[in-house]
Structure 1
Amino acid sequence: MLMTPGPTAVPAPVRDAMSRELINPDVDPEFHRIYDRLTDRLATVYGAGQTGANGAPDRDVVVPGGEGILGLEAAIASLVEPGTEVLCLSNGLYGDGFADFVADYGGEATLVSTDYDDPLPLAELESILDDDHEFEVATMVHCETPTGTLNDLGPALDLLEEADGEILTVVDAVSSLGGVPVPTDRVDVCLGASQKCFSAPPGLTTAAISDRAWAAMDERDPHSLYTNFLPWRDTDEGFPYTHLTTEVVALDAALGLWLDEGLDAVRERHRTAAARCRERGAELGLEPYPDPERSSPTVTAFEVPGRAEELQTRLREDHDVLLATGLAYLADDVLRVGHMGHNARVERVDEAMDALEEVL
């Protein structure tokens, strides 16, 4: 049983959709119809379907072919050029990683970071915004999957807006979108992926992009095709490259299930599964990482100092249950249960925790 925080288990209706006859995305109009339906469905999930003063949607949703990390790099490649000042707010591995992407594309990254078990460093953010900087872009992560941390982005977005309403915001919502409300309306580039809360196979990036972010991309004229959102803005005349047909069909089917269930029901299912996982963990003497109040409804990271790889191996070999260890310096100290998407069900959590109880 796959209970990792992405890729997640793919339900049967999605697998069935993937098994249908292949569609040629370059010449078959049916594929364009499916892609347009997919972006409409994603707009509902993002909350990007509301209209602005001109009557047009306030965010465009695009779905490039490429695993979720493509979105993080493409956001930087599309908005950053040599000399661009970028503020990277971080309390985790992926937040830190944004600064690396900025450096790769010649930007000047200012990393405002803290320990991985702390909240976002708002005091440090406020202080750096008071200094003499000309930040054009700010990055942050909604759910830090390696530690199971769900960040409250509201206060950080408030500070950025108060300091300079022109700073473009980029948010990694890969592990929260679909299971947790995301403040898309306050974010210029909001990133997601197929293999997390939607329970489709890995292979697609999703992004909700504001008009002012598009304008900034037009000014920068990125020197890349693959790590570039601009070619996806208008696909009426064709896609930038041959799209990942089966993955698009799968994500469309997965979102159909998601919307049939309903936004409120899906989120409540995630909350219930998370609460059950932590209740079972407490019974086993396991502490969540980080503080329970900041733990995500989509993934629970338990502290198991020095035992994560051993427990993962025994769970896989003895019980056919696959959990994830931590990453980087937490690789052997954290064991993660992914209760997101199709796996956000109490019975699946109980099966995984029963197995964990046996190997502890």
Structure 2
Amino acid sequence: MRFTPGPTAVPESVREAMAEVQPNPDVEASFRERYDALRGKLARVYGASHDGIDEASHDVVIPGGEGILGLEAAIASLVAPGDRVLCVSNGIYGDGFADFVESYGGDATVVSAPYDEGLDRSAVADALESAAAEDDPFEVATLVHCETPTGTLNDIGPVLDLLDAHDVVTVVDAVSSLGGTPVPTDRIDVCLGASQKCFSAPPGLTTAAISDRAWERMEERDPSSLYTNFLPWRDVSEGFPYTHLNANVAALDVAVDRLLEEGLESVHDRHERAAERCRERVRELGLECYPDPDRCSPTVTAVHLPGEARTVQRRVREEHDVVLATGLGEMADDVLRFGHMGYNADVETVDRVMDAVADVLR
């Protein structure tokens, strides 16, 4: 059993869709029809917290490429050399946005908070005010909704308020939250998702909901890449920028259908119940969440196991055939992560996994 925070377990119906004979995405109309229909379904998922995305203000595009493609493409499409970008971070992926900015010649300013704390709204306000006073404002800002390595769900609303007041174009990594908990997409210019997380489809597709303001800015840029560039996806009536991943699109289509058939409110409630059960079992084992449980995501729980995470991960896999993930970077041996997202957001599945962990810890 795989219980990792992505790639998640893939349901049988999704696997079967991927194994079917697929239309040629370059020449057959049936593929275009499926792609367009999937865009509409994803708009409903993106708009779950506010009755759908207004199609006049956001477009959903689905490029071929794993979720990191979306993070890089957002920067490549929006940031020209010398552009000032504010990277609001309390984790590895928040910090990583600054690396993308610098690789495309942008000027990144990182407002950091400790990985076990929330975003620093006060420091963001100070940075915005200082830039405005110097008449050198930030043009783009990046945030992460769910920092998967620490299981943190960030309260991005207050930061979005500040950025909106300063007319800053916003990019949000919602890869590990979209489809598992509401995302305020209507307040975000580029909201990024991916197939292999809460959708429980195979890795291979990025999703992005892009506002008119972001498209206009992209039109003004001169991206140095075709692949890491959202602009060619705005109008694919004459063909896709490159041969699309037809089997992956078929799989994601069925995966999204599963969510919509269940009902997005029910899906979100299911994730909350699974997360609550996981953390209840964590407490019973005498362990602590990382970070504070009040900031934990409904899609992933990180547990503090200093110096023991890799050993527990190995033994749970060898003795119980359950695959878990550890932390990343410096936390690789200090954090054990449980991915109760997508198909695995299920209380019975959580109990089976936690029984295995309890046996190993005994």
Residues in 2 aligned to 1:50 and 1:101: alpha-carbon distance in whole angstroms: 28
1:49–1:57 Cα change, 3 Å: farther
Secondary structure at 2:289's aligned position in 1?
coil
Secondary structure at 1:21's aligned position in 2?
coil
Match of 2:163 in 1: 160
**Deviations for 1:301-357, whole angstroms, at most 9, x for unmatched residues?**
000110111011111111110000000111100000000000000011111101000
Displaced runs of 4+ in structure 1, greater than 6 A? none
Q: CA deviation at 1:22?
A: 2.5
Residues in 2 aligned to 1:281 and 1:57: alpha-carbon distance in whole angstroms: 45
Which moves more between the two structures, 103-112 or 131-140?
131-140
Residue 119 in structure 1 maps to residue 122 in structure 2: no
Residue 137 in structure 1 maps to residue 140 in structure 2: yes
Match of 2:32 in 1: 32
Residue 74 in structure 1 maps to residue 73 in structure 2: yes
Residues in 2 aligned to 1:96 and 1:296: alpha-carbon distance in whole angstroms: 19
What aligned pairs does 1:325-336 form with structure 2 within 5 A after superposition?
325-336=326-337
Match of 2:355 in 1: 354
Residues in 2 aligned to 1:332 and 1:227: alpha-carbon distance in whole angstroms: 33
| Contact 1:49/1:57 (<8 A) preserved | no
Match of 1:276 in 2: 277
Secondary structure at 1:147's aligned position in 2?
coil
Letter in 1 for 2:150: T
Residues in 1 aligned to 2:66 and 2:325: alpha-carbon distance in whole angstroms: 18
1:244–1:92 Cα change, 3 Å: same
Residues in 1 aligned to 2:241 and 2:52: alpha-carbon distance in whole angstroms: 24
Letter in 2 for 1:118: E
Q: CA deviation at 1:42?
A: 0.3
Residue 299 in structure 1 maps to residue 304 in structure 2: no
| Contact 2:53/2:186 (<8 A) preserved | no
Residues in 2 aligned to 1:193 and 1:15: alpha-carbon distance in whole angstroms: 17
Q: Normalised by the size of structure 1, how large is the TM-score?
A: 0.97
Give the fraction of aligned pairs with identical amino acids, expressed as a percent.
67
**Deviations for 1:86-119, whole angstroms, at most 9, x for unmatched residues?**
0000000000000000000000000000110011
**Deviations for 1:279-318, whole angstroms, at most 9, x for unmatched residues?**
0110001111001010000000000110111011111111
Secondary structure at 1:336's aligned position in 2?
strand
What aligned pairs does 1:1-360 form with structure 2 within 5 A after superposition?
1-47=1-47, 49-51=52-54, 56-131=55-130, 132=134, 133-162=136-165, 164-165=166-167, 167-360=168-361
Residues in 1 aligned to 2:73 and 2:143: alpha-carbon distance in whole angstroms: 15
Note the aligned Cα RMSD (angstroms).
Answer: 0.9
Letter in 2 for 1:146: P
Residues in 1 aligned to 2:287 and 2:206: alpha-carbon distance in whole angstroms: 34
Which moves more between the two structures, 113-122 or 140-149?
113-122
| Contact 1:14/1:253 (<8 A) preserved | yes
Q: CA deviation at 1:49?
A: 4.2
Q: CA deviation at 1:123?
A: 1.2
Residues in 2 aligned to 1:147 and 1:87: alpha-carbon distance in whole angstroms: 22
Q: CA deviation at 1:50?
A: 3.9
Residues in 2 aligned to 1:277 and 1:50: alpha-carbon distance in whole angstroms: 32
Secondary structure at 2:276's aligned position in 1?
helix
- For structure 2, the 5+ residue unaligned runs are none
Secondary structure at 1:206's aligned position in 2?
strand
| Contact 1:49/1:58 (<8 A) preserved | no
Residues in 2 aligned to 1:170 and 1:340: alpha-carbon distance in whole angstroms: 23
1:314–1:244 Cα change, 3 Å: same
Residues in 1 aligned to 2:222 and 2:250: alpha-carbon distance in whole angstroms: 31
Q: Normalised by the size of structure 2, how large is the TM-score?
A: 0.97
Q: CA deviation at 1:57?
A: 2.7
Residues in 2 aligned to 1:280 and 1:67: alpha-carbon distance in whole angstroms: 32
Letter in 2 for 1:77: A
Residues in 2 aligned to 1:94 and 1:5: alpha-carbon distance in whole angstroms: 14
**Deviations for 1:259-287, whole angstroms, at most 9, x for unmatched residues?**
00001100000000000000011000111
Q: CA deviation at 1:36?
A: 0.6
Residues in 1 aligned to 2:180 and 2:20: alpha-carbon distance in whole angstroms: 28
| Contact 2:277/2:350 (<8 A) preserved | yes
Secondary structure at 2:149's aligned position in 1?
helix
Letter in 2 for 1:105: Y
Letter in 2 for 1:10: V
Residues in 2 aligned to 1:35 and 1:304: alpha-carbon distance in whole angstroms: 43
Letter in 1 for 2:327: G
Residues in 2 aligned to 1:319 and 1:27: alpha-carbon distance in whole angstroms: 47
